[in-house]
């Protein structure tokens, strides 16, 4: 009998997870809650919200789910994994205590300070007057961050003291992110190239996933407001690059060791959002889950069965699983509704090729729904079109060729996904053999 798998969430990341799980020969059935119209192509979609812990538990028991994989940070920080484990259900993701690495930026920064993990210098404030006083006396550009979860919007990168003071007002006084803004971090603004490094952890050991780059800004040339992600590509760094060793030794290993030492072993995907500065790699933030859209370009390159990797992590035996990768490049362009990340319309009928997979193309849906047998838009980020090819240029071309075949009213996308930021600090080399070090 094959495994019955439940994926929690309903975005592009979860579509990629469902696709990877459904591709595993060990898997008999994949469910996704709440899923979306595209996910229905590879999994059975169940209408239970990711915040409905009780409903999800009941479903997992009733359907005899063998393995649950949690996509978004909300349910992880809220303790869904602890509830599932309490009910003796097998679940992949960190406990609420371990998910604090993402759930509280103050916890994360103080943790990094305790373990000498390189990150921007920072101060913590729970009083807006003190935060403002600090900003007035500080030199150089700053970043102001709400402590708690703010749907990816709680970080305000400031060009001068005035905008930092305004950020304190927005976060702490107006409380636009609610209680997430009760405390803020004010930290030094770093410059360099961003890199997303994810690793699967079994609590003690890690298996590194191929590094990716995501494009957060809404418009070409990295201009406009930050979004949940407008595209991504992988690899952004090769496994044999000394920079990856440095990140592994200075960041990933001490993070997992520190969490274990503090009695909160980290099992799940640990995501380090890095800035590669002239002075070396620095952690911008941790996420306690698979990145989105990074997962949409990383999983298509993973040759090892994802279910084996997760099984090894849950068994505390990650060293048994050296990961194999396809020697290819994957590029993902996200199609969004005009206006995103601000106000946008939904319910627009979609046409063109929208099935999950065809040859070297994967289409991971985020905001899509079915209305009277017609697929319509249902969110800001609508669908990620991923192209795989042996070369970087080939993958860019494959993705954009397919992008042009999709149509819906107000469709918008960046035209520069795949162009490398600066194109200097992240050397790209082609290597025939790629094996992750564990
Ligand atoms: P987050 O929402 O925590 O993923 O952060 C969003 C983005 O803010 C990051 O991807 C960076 O682009 C930027 N950011 C965060 N911290 C810093 C920093 N200290 N210096 C410069 N940019 C930063
Ligand atoms: N791509 C950034 C994130 O997943 O938060």
pLDDT in tens, 66-89: 999 999 999 999 999 999 999 999
* Ligand 1 atom closest to 105 (CA): 3
- Residue 151: predicted pLDDT: 81
The answer to whether the pTM exceeds 0.85 is yes
Task: Give 285-307 pLDDT, tens digit per residue.
Answer: 999 999 999 999 999 999 999 99
Question: Which protein residues are within 6 Å of ligand 2, measured from CB?
Answer: 152, 214, 229, 287, 291-292, 294
Strand ranges, E, within 93-228: 122-125, 142-146, 155-157, 184-188, 193-202, 206-208, 213-214, 217-219, 223-226
- Residue 225: predicted pLDDT: 86
At a CB cut-off of 8 Å and minimum separation 6, what does 358 contact?
none
- Residue 107: predicted pLDDT: 98
Contact 74, 49 (CB under 8 A): no
From the CA of 294, which ligand is nearest?
2
Sign, CA dihedral 296-216-404-395, equals negative
- Residue 185: predicted pLDDT: 96
Q: Which H, E and C letters describe 13-47, residue by residue?
A: HHHHHHHHHHCCCCEEEEEEEECCCCHHHCCEECC
- Residue 432: predicted pLDDT: 35
* Ligand 2 atom closest to 294 (CA): 1
Distance CA 226, CA 5 (A): 33
Distance CA 132, CA 255 (A): 31
What residue owns the CA closest to ligand 1's atom 18? 189
- Residue 153: predicted pLDDT: 80
**Residue 349 DSSP label:** B
- Residue 250: predicted pLDDT: 98
- Residue 320: predicted pLDDT: 66
Classified as helix, coil or strand, 259 is helix
Distance CA 119, CA 113 (A): 8
From the CA of 156, which ligand is nearest?
1
Q: What distance in angstroms lies between residue 133's CA and the mean position of ligand 2's atoms?
A: 32
- Residue 1: predicted pLDDT: 75
The parts of the chain modelled with pLDDT lower than 70 are: 320-321, 420-438
What residue owns the CA closest to ligand 1's atom 3? 285
From the CA of 140, which ligand is nearest?
1
């Amino acid at each position: 009998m094959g495994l019955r798998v439940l994926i929690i969430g309903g975005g592009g990341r979860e579509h990629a997870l469902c696709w990877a799980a459904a591709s595993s020969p060990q898997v008999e059935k994949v469910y996704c809650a709440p899923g979306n119209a595209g996910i229905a192509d590879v999994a059975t979609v169940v209408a239970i919200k990711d915040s409905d812990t009780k409903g999800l538990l009941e479903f997992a028991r009733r359907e005899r789910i063998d393995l649950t994989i949690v996509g978004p940070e909300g349910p992880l920080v809220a303790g869904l994994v602890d509830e599932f484990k309490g009910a003796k259900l097998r679940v992949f993701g960190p406990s609420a205590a371990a998910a604090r690495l993402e759930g509280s930026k103050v916890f994360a920064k103080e943790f990094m300070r305790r373990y000498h993990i390189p990150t921007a210098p920072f101060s913590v404030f729970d009083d807006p007057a003190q935060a403002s006083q600090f900003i007035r006396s500080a030199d150089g550009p700053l970043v102001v961050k709400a402590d708690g979860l703010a749907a990816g919007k709680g970080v305000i990168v400031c060009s001068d003291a005035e905008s930092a003071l305004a950020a304190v007002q927005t976060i702490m006084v107006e409380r636009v992110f609610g209680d997430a803004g009760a405390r803020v971090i004010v930290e030094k603004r770093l410059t360099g190239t961003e890199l997303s490094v994810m690793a699967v952890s079994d609590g003690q050991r890690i298996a590194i996933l191929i590094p990716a780059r995501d494009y957060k800004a809404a418009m070409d040339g990295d201009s406009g407001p930050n979004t949940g992600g407008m595209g991504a590509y992988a690899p952004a760094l090769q496994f044999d690059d000394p920079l990856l060793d440095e990140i592994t030794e200075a960041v990933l290993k001490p993070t997992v060791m520190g969490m274990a030492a503090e009695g909160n072993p980290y099992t799940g995907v640990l995501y380090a959002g890095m800035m590669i500065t002239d002075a070396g790699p620095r952690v911008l933030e941790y996420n306690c889950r698979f990145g989105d859209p990074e997962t949409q370009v990383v999983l298509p390159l993973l040759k090892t069965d994802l279910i084996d990797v997760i099984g090894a992590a849950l068994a505390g035996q990650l060293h048994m699983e050296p990961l194999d990768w396809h020697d290819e490049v994957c590029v993902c362009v996200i199609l969004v509704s005009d206006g995103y990340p601000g106000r946008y319309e939904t319910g627009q009928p979609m046409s063109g090729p929208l099935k999950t997979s065809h040859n070297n193309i994967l289409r991971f849906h985020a905001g899509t729904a079915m209305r009277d047998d017609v697929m319509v838009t249902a969110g800001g980020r609508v669908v990620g079109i991923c192209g795989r090819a042996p070369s970087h240029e080939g993958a860019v071309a494959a993705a954009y060729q397919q992008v042009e075949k999709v149509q819906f009213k107000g469709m918008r996308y960046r035209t520069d996904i795949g162009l490398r930021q600066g194109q200097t600090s992240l050397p790209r080399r082609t290597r025939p053999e790629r094996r992750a070090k564990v």
